[in-house]
Amino acid sequence: MTCKECQQMIPDYMNNYLKPKELKRFINHVHTCSQCYEELETYVIVSLATQVFDENADVSYDIKDLLEKDLNEKENQLRKRKRRVILLLIFILVFLILDMILTIHWLNM
C-alpha cells in the first residue's frame, strides 16, 4: 500500500467503513509508516476536538494512547473474524467427512 492510498483511507477508517482486508492493510501500513501514523493522529485529534467542542466537555485526552487502543481494538476484531472463518471451515470439513461416512455406509447396505 502506498502512503497516498493509506491516507485516502483515513476517513473511512475513522468511520469504520473499511472492509476487513482493507483494514488489515491499513493497520499494517500505519504501524510501519511514521508519516501515515502522524497523519492518522492528526485526524484523531481533529475528530476528538470536534467531539469535545460539540459536547462542550472539558476533557483532555491522551491522543497517542487513544489511537493505540483504537488500532489494537480493530486488530482484535480482525483476529476474531479470522478465528470465526477457521471455525466455519472446520465445521464444513467435519460435515463433509460425516457425509462421506454416511454415503459409504449407505452404499454398503
Note the residues at the interface with Zn ion (CB under 5 A).
3, 6, 33, 35-36
Q: Which residue lies nearer to Zn ion by CB, 23 or 36?
A: 36
Q: Give the Cα separation of 55 and 49 in Å (integer).
A: 10
- Residue 53 CB, nearest distance to Zn ion (Å)? 29
Q: Which residue lies nearer to Zn ion by CB, 12 or 52?
A: 12
- Residue 75 CB, nearest distance to Zn ion (Å)? 18
Q: CA dist 29 to 19, 74, 83, 94, Å?
A: 15, 14, 22, 37
Q: Which of 77, 64, 58 is nearest to 20 (CA)?
A: 77
Q: Which residue lies nearer to Zn ion by CB, 3 or 63?
A: 3
